[in-house]
Amino acid sequence: MPAYGLIPFILMLGAIAVLPLVAEHWWEHNRNKGIVSAILGVPVGVWFLMHDAGHVASVGLEYVSFLALLGSLFVISGGILLRGDLRATPLTNTKFLALGAVLASFMGTTGAAMLLIRPVLRTNSERTYRVHTVVIFIFIVANCGGLLTPLGDPPLFMGYLRGVPFSWTFGLWQEWLLVNAALLGIFYLWDTRIWAREPGEAKRLDETRVEPLSVVGHINFPLLVGVVLVVAFGAHLPVLVDTGHATFGLRELAMFGLAGASLALTPKAAREGNAFTFGPIIEVAVLFFGIFLTMIPALVYLQENGTSFGLTTPAQYFWTTGSLSAFLDNAPTYIVFLELARVTVPDAAGVVGIPAEVLVAISTGAVFMGAVTYIGNGPNFMVKAIAESSGVKMPSFFGYMAYSCAILIPLFVLCTVVFFR
């Protein structure tokens, strides 16, 4: 594979990173995202169909499995409406974030973020200072909380599809606990200080406008459990198509079926209260159509040339995977370094042919550092948009990075010292 075969992949990821900044209004239409994906991805797919159709078939099945998981979690979580308005004290906000840190691993960062962001914004609607709460919400709920299962974050699900056992990520609990506990502690101290600066009128309004939490759309909770069980035990379900590298079967059909059941059974008021639309998942589908196709030559190139990259230690994999995940999308970045690690240490014992400590570094780097920028992980921009629609003036792209660099980078240095020396 010549080096210029990487150009479509680089252009695809560059479009995702740059176009929202320089052509915001044009890029916000999913049709235009689809045009970019088709222009860059279809020629690559056609070329590989002519030379290696089996490779395209495997990637196509992985794409369908990827959408089955994200789509089912998005649809089912969108049918759960949390109503209410609690007192926006530092302790209440910290409890919301702690709940999100747990839910993110079991209903996905997208599902947990969409479930909790509106109740958090309603609870804090009377407060004057809210930006810091949304920023830490993105850090924890939309990213760092999703480390413990393949359901949590798209990179981990892609690893699951490529042979990483479902239960393996449970072993990342120490990394999960260190980062999320530190973020919760930082937030509590930060919010306590800001709470003391809140105007008296804001505090009085917050005390008088209290409404207990209630839930609409209970039927979706067993459906969420169903998705977890389907993913966890999917390897034992019948397979309808098997390319040798990817499969399609009852696992994917069951996830689509659970999403369909949610659409049919959820009370209309729940989705209306969540302002639910299919726009975000359509955006994911059209962008990843291009990513999956343009990624094919990049993976082939890594398989042929990966040993020349010079990455050998877990710390190098953690920072390199994470740095690219911050500015590109963390799912394809994870796959690239997963394949690179296979090539670099092909004879090493461990998980899917990769030493366990290297796989830990790749996984944590992709998940944690997806929080460094708005474009590192899909839910980041979704949370930002919902917050702005609720009147929160969110920081700019580089303003957000000022928060993330000040708070997250020191934590990642700590992770390196503790786990990847």
Please name the helix (run of DSSP H) or strand (run of DSSP E) that holds residue 402, with its range, or none. Answer: helix 397-419
Who's near 292: CB < 8 A, 6+ residues apart?
A: 41, 59, 60, 62, 63, 66
Give residue 331's pLDDT band: very low, low, confident or very high (50, 70, 90).
confident
Over residues 142-163, the pLDDT tens digits come to: 999 999 999 899 899 888 888 8
Task: Return the HEC string of 303-341.
Answer: HHHHHHHCCCCHHHHHHHHHHHHHHCCHHHHHHHHHHHH
19-23, 123-127, 235-239, 242-246: range with lowest mean pLDDT? 242-246
**How large is the average pLDDT for residues 77-82?**
86
Residues with Cβ within 8 Å of 35's Cβ and at least 6 positions away in sequence, in order, are: none
Assign 390 a pLDDT band (cuts: 50, 70, 90): confident
* Extents of the domains making up the chain: 3-419
In sequence order, what are the residues at sequence separation of 6 or more whose Cβ sits closer than 8 angstroms to the Cβ of residue 72?
227, 255, 256, 258, 259
Model confidence at 6, pLDDT cuts 50, 70, 90, reads confident
How far apart (Å, rounded) are the C-alpha atoms in residues 86 and 211? 6
- pLDDT tens figures, 162-217: 889 988 999 999 999 999 999 999 999 999 999 999 888 888 887 888 888 888 99
Q: In which residue are the tokens 């993976």 written?
A: 299
pLDDT at 416 over 90: yes
Distance CA 47, CA 31 (A): 24
Q: List pLDDT tens digits, range 16-32.
A: 778 877 888 898 888 99
Give the C-alpha separation, 186 to 97, whole Å. Answer: 12
pLDDT tens track for 263-316: 999 999 999 888 888 888 888 889 889 988 998 888 788 777 767 778 889 999
pLDDT of residue 415: 96
pLDDT at 363 > cutoff 90? yes
Q: Which two tokens stand for residue 72?
A: 């089912």
